[in-house]
Amino acid sequence: MLDDFMTRATLAGIGVSLAAAPLGCFIVWRRMAYFGEATAHSALLGVALSLTFEFSVLAGAVLVSLLMSISVTLMAGRSLFLDTLLGVAGHTSIAAGLVLVSFLSGVRIDLMAYLIGDILAVSHMDLLLIWIGVGTILSLIIWRWSPLLLVTLNEDLASANGFNPKRENFIITIALAIVVAVGIKVVGVLLIIALLIIPAASARSIATTPEAMGFFAALIGASSALFGINAAYIFDTPTGPSIVCAASLFFIALSLVSSFLKRKKHN
C-alpha cells in the first residue's frame, strides 16, 4: 500500500496538517504569525547548509530554525522590537540560503522543491521521519495543552499557578521548528505558515472553546491535505499550493457561513 506514491503523499500531507493545525491555534492566539513565517524562512538556510556539508536536511532545518528563533527571542526588546528582528533574521536566512545554494554548481538542485514542497517525491524514509515529527509535536502540544493555554491567556496567572512561562514558550518554539522541518517536503518553507494559520483561522468561526478550535483546525487541515492532493492529481497542478488553496476555500466558506448565521441571529 505504501508503495503507491499517492498514498505516501496523502499520509505525509495529512500528518503535517494534523500537527500544524493545533499548534497553529497557539500561533494565531499569540499573534506569532510573523514569528512562524521567519522560522520557516530561516529553515531554507538550514537546507542550504545541509546540502553543502552533506547532512540530513531535516536536522539542518530544525537546527537553523531553532537557532534563529532562540537568538531573536533573546535579543528582542533591547534596541529593536521582535518583528523587526524577525524580519532581519528571516530574510537574511532565506537570502543567505539562496546564495549558498548557488555555490553548489556541481549538483543540480531543484530549489522549488524546498520552497513549495515536493510531496509526490516523499520516500518511505521521509514518511517515517515526518510521522516521527508529527508524533513528537502532537505529544508535546497535548501534554502541555493546559499550561500552554494559561501562558497564552496571561503569563502572570500561569506563573502564580506554578508554571514557568519561559519554558512553555520554548515548547512552542521547538514544536514550530519541527513542524517547519517536516513540512518542507510537503508544502515547502514558503507555504508551511499557511498550514499553521489557515486551518486555525477557519476553525475560529465555529468554535466556542480552545479545545474545539484545536480539534476543528486539525480536521480542516487534514481535509485540506486530502482534497488538495486529489485536486492536484486531477487538474495536474502543483500539490503543495493546491493543499493551501483547499485550506483557503475552507476559510472562505466557513467565514461566509458564520457571518451569515450571525446576521440571521441579529435580525
Residue range at the interface with another protein (CB under 8 A); choices 40-48, 85-93, 125-133, 198-206: 198-206
- Degrees to nearest 5, angle at CA 192 with 124 and 40: 105
Name the residue with cell 495543552.
Answer: 145
85 touching another protein, by CB under 8 A:
no
Residue range at the interface with another protein (CB under 8 A); choices 11-19, 118-126, 196-204, 231-239: 196-204
Q: How many residues bind another protein (CB under 8 A)?
A: 31
157 touching another protein, by CB under 8 A:
yes
In the bound complex, what is the minimum distance in angstroms from residue 204's beta carbon to another protein? 6
Which CB atom, from 31 or from 108, has the smaller least distance to another protein? 31
Q: Report residue 120 as a C-alpha cell.
A: 509526490
Q: Report residue 27 as a C-alpha cell.
A: 500561533
257 touching another protein, by CB under 8 A:
no
Residue range at the interface with another protein (CB under 8 A); choices 62-70, 117-125, 162-170, 173-181: 162-170
Closest of 86, 81, 79, 48 to residue 176, by C-alpha: 86
Q: Report residue 158 as a C-alpha cell.
A: 500561569
Distance from C-alpha of 10 to C-alpha of 182, rounded to nearest angstrom: 14
Alpha-helical (H) ranges within 30-123 are 33-52, 57-75, 82-103, 111-116
**What is the contact surface with another protein in residues (CB under 8 A)?**
28-31, 146-147, 149-150, 152-161, 163-165, 200-201, 204, 207-213
